[in-house]
Structure 1
Amino acid sequence: MSHPAPATSPRHTVGTSTPDQPPTWAPAAPTIALLTALGVLMVGQMYTVLALLHPMATALGTTPEQVTWTATAFGFAYAGGFLLAGPLSDRYGSRAVITAGLVAATAATLAVSAAPDLPTAIALRSVQGLATATFAPSALSYAVHHIAPQRRGTALTCITSGMFAAAVLLQIGAQAVAAGLGWRAVFWIGAVLMALGLMPVRRVLRPTLRHGTGGGLRQAFAAMPRLVRRPRLVALYLSTVVLMSAFVAVYTAVAIAGPPGIAGNSSAILALRVGALPALIAVPVLAPVLQRLAPPLRTVLAFTSAALTVAAGSFLGGHTVALAIALLLFVAAVAAAAPAVVETINAHAPQARGAAVALYGCSMFIGASLGPQLTGALTGLGFGGILRVVAAALVLGVLLALPSLRSPTSSGS
């Protein structure tokens, strides 16, 4: 981590206004459980449509390839929302921003369920993306500010793993709900769950002390231009774009490109989605072991593993079990990479964590927005060809992550 643990007891620290020294640390278990569960729900709104492309296309009078724009519109709005939510969280406190975001996201999600045509659905998904963007940077900032240092790595791993689990869990849930109740019910249920989340947020999370003096939001936003002038941070943000683009592209390829022998078989496609769940459980459980490696090294190793598993999967489209294993290992690599990148970014920007995490989240969802369009542009190559292009992109991600292996105190970081 970027700061050593305080010299005093981990639950009673000296000082009241610095991010690493609140009066008492928040209880880790309920905080992690709540933020992880909400991460699945809120971030998962990005991915629900990947399981709804065909029913939405039928209802809205268009094609599945055109419906992917509802994912892209959400992702770009989400990325922009991160840039607002990070500084707002620093200024007004994570709990306040999460609360306001849940209210706005509930309304926006209900509105999506009533979309009469594709252009309206795209516009409403943009609003939904902007509203739900308030959660992730606020949750990560809350963990950094309120969880004791010795539990913080585990907290970040659980929260980010929950956000990745959303890509699988909410696709599975959306597919099941749409089959029984129709695609609009997916958004009704999502809105109800968001509204129900307000009570535990108010009960479990603590108000965050405002940090720093003077400057207000201007000071918070001013940190961003300084961060994007640092080459190694820029490289990490670009590697995050690559990682998330690859992640979403692979699952979009499963949905619309159809692996040979699996295309049109909803049960087989569901099995591929479900097969990745053990990885999203195993990575948080193994967090104490993984954290023995320095975050930059974990980042590079995870990117390398992701590239290798996608390359292997590109030759396994006709074999459901073998492809499921490749996707399992790929998701594990992605889930291990995400918290490692967050910790590395924090180490390179200890004085501007909110802005740094906001830029990280923006990078994530720029990548997530590009993923469906990447797959759509490459459908002519077939499932295997798409995955080989994705594997090549992940090799670029490895190269972008390599500079972070140098100490953050080195010049030019």
Structure 2
Amino acid sequence: MSAIVSTPPAVRPSAPRAGTVPLLVGTALVVLIQLYASIPLRQPVAADLGPEGVTAALAAGYSFAYAVGFLIYGPLSDHFGRRRILVYGLAALTLATFAVSLAPSTGVLAVARAVQGLAAATFAPTALAYLGEALPPQRRARAIAAISIAFLTAGILGQVAATSLSALTGWRGTFLAGGLVLAVLTLAAFVVIREPEVDRPGQSLAGRYAGLVRFAVRPGSLLLAAGHLVVLGGFVGMYSLLGPYLAQAELSAGEIMLVRAAALPALFCSLLAGPLAVRLGVPRTALLGFTVAAAGLGGEAVLGGSLAGLVIASVVFVAGVALLVPAMIALWGAAAHPARGTGMAVNGFVLFLGAGLGSYAVELPGGLAGALGVLAGLYLVAGAAVYAARPRR
């Protein structure tokens, strides 16, 4: 692994236009909301189109297409450039989102959501690779932390926004509003974003995909991937377990949403990842994140009988995950250097594959405490795997 983290690509002096980083952070939030909006919309969609196949139509096809899309677009952005993939991808996502709002049946909805997921996947690997190339190291760390916060907050804000909009405009109006916002962001990206002036090694597109496969099967990459599966997998798993548990405790839907939202401030711990990485190094920062997340889950398992204790422990857990996301982005980017698009492609594929698997945490034995204990153990094992994958120099 150390052989691919040595010399960065040559970068000519060219600062991104003012507003580029806030635009990418805001776009990240809106793009990821399209993923999580499906959670509260299942019931209104079922009432409109019929209950058969609604979960698969809204969520499964989108999630699979989204994860696979990372593997497609990372090498494409390395080959054709970041700006082109970003702008064209946002335009395709805008059209697909409008198509979702017009779906007359669950079959058409499933196809439209899969296309939407495939288009949405253009954004994250390309934007992260763009930040890695266009910004100096100090600004890069802050920008990646900010975009990480957007990725994570979308998981909670997406549900809140979809619930509120669907109550006012119906589920179709929710996606229509999303399409209108994405149209504005696409136009802004076309005007504001310019291609980083980076000298990338000349290589055919087929060679780049072959390089992706070679990178993905390296022992160091496999260790990173094993740990990375847990990052969002445990996040989704914990909240999948928490909702039914709180419902059984007779909390209302509004109160459950408040418990979920209590951890939102902890997501800003992503901003600490950069300074900690300077002090401790990126691998140790990631290990710290895994350890804090495991401690939070352990606290939830022990304090599950106390609502206050459960909320406090969940905040600790989310703080650990918030540290992890930017640290893992940095590790994947360094491992794939100078083909950052390839690194971000594998990073995103594994991250959201783990998120899909996380929903199965409800099948774990031992009730809430037992399942959370298993997840805590997985975070500790994942931390050891990621730390073992660190470059030796």
Give the number of aligned pairs.
389
Contact residue 259 and residue 383 of structure 1 kept, 8 A:
no
- Structure 1 position 169, deviation (Å): 1.5
Of 284, 298, 302, which aligns to 2:289?
302
Q: Is the contact made by 2:229 and 2:351 (CA closer than 8 Å) also made in structure 1?
A: yes
Give the unaligned 5+ runs of structure 2.
none
Give the match for residue 25 of structure 2: 36
Distance 1:277 1:404 in 2: 30
Indicate how the Cα distance of structure 1 residues 276 and 240 shifts in structure 2: closer, same or farther if over 3 A, else same: same
Q: CA separation in 1, counterparts of 2:303 and 2:48?
A: 33
TM-score w.r.t. the length of structure 2 is 0.89
Counterparts of 1:295 and 1:3, CA distance in 2:
16
Q: Which amino acid in 2 is paired with 1:139?
A: A
CA distance in 2, matches of 1:186, 1:252: 23
1:46 aligns with 2:35: yes
Q: Deviations over 1:13-40 (max 9, x none)?
A: xxxxx7452332325x722211111111
Q: Is contact 1:168-1:276 (8 Å) kept?
A: no
TM-score relative to the length of structure 1: 0.85
Rounded to whole Å, the distance in 1 between the matches of 2:197 and 2:210 is 20
Deviation for aligned residue 1:196: 0.7
- Counterpart amino acid of 2:24? L
User: 1:277 and 2:264 equivalent?
Assistant: yes
Per the alignment, do residues 262 and 104 of structure 1 end up closer, same or farther by CA in structure 2, a change over 3 Å counting?
A: farther
- AA aligned to 1:46 is L
Does structure 1 residue 390 correspond to structure 2 residue 379? Answer: no
Q: How big is the alpha-carbon RMSD for the aligned residues of Structure 1 and Structure 2?
A: 2.7
Residue pair 2:230, 2:382 contacting (<8 A) in 1 also:
yes
**Which residue is 1:183 aligned to?**
171
Q: Distance in 2 between matches of 1:323 and 1:56?
A: 32
Alpha-carbon displacement from aligned partner over 1:109-156 (angstroms, at most 9, x marks no partner): 222223444444333322111000000011001101101122111111
Residues 11 and 199, structure 2, Cα contact 8 Å, conserved in 1? no
Structure number with the higher helix fraction is 2
Deviation at 1:275, TM superposition (A): 1.2
**Does the CA contact (< 8 Å) of 2:97 and 2:176 recur in 1?**
yes
- Asked if the contact 1:85/1:138 (under 8 Å) is kept, the reply is yes
In the alignment, structure 1 residue 84 sits paired with structure 2 residue 72: yes
Q: CA offsets per residue over residues 327-349 of structure 1, 9 Å max, x none?
A: 22222211211111121223333
Where do 5+ consecutive residues of structure 1 fail to align? 5-17
1:345-384 Cα offsets, whole Å, 9 max, x none, are 2333323222111111111111122222x14545x86544
Distance 2:291 2:309 in 1: 20
Distance 1:127 1:47 in 2: 16
Aligned-partner Cα distance in 2 for 1:403–1:234: 11
**Structure-2 residue corresponding to 1:129:** 117
> Residues 6-405 of structure 1: matches in 2 within 5 Å?
19=9, 21-26=11-16, 30-62=19-51, 67=55, 70-209=58-197, 211-212=199-200, 214-255=202-243, 257-259=244-246, 262=249, 265-284=252-271, 287-289=274-276, 291-317=278-304, 319-372=306-359, 374-375=360-361, 377-378=363-364, 382-405=367-390
Cα deviation for residue 406 of structure 1 reads 5.0
